[in-house]
Amino acid sequence: MTDPLPDHMFHRQDDSADEAFYSIPRMVNHIDDATINEITRFYREALAPEDELLDLMSSWVSHLPQDVTYRKVTGLGMNLDELNANARLDQALVHNLNKTPTLPFPG
Q: Rounded to an integer, what distance in angstroms lies between the CA atom of residue 25 and that of residue 93?
A: 15
pLDDT value of residue 39: 97
pLDDT value of residue 1: 60
C-alpha distance from residue 2 to each of 6, 11, 53 (Å): 8, 18, 35
pLDDT, tens digit only, all 107 positions of the chain: 677 888 888 888 888 888 988 999 999 998 999 999 999 999 999 999 999 999 999 999 999 999 999 999 999 999 999 999 999 999 999 999 989 999 999 87
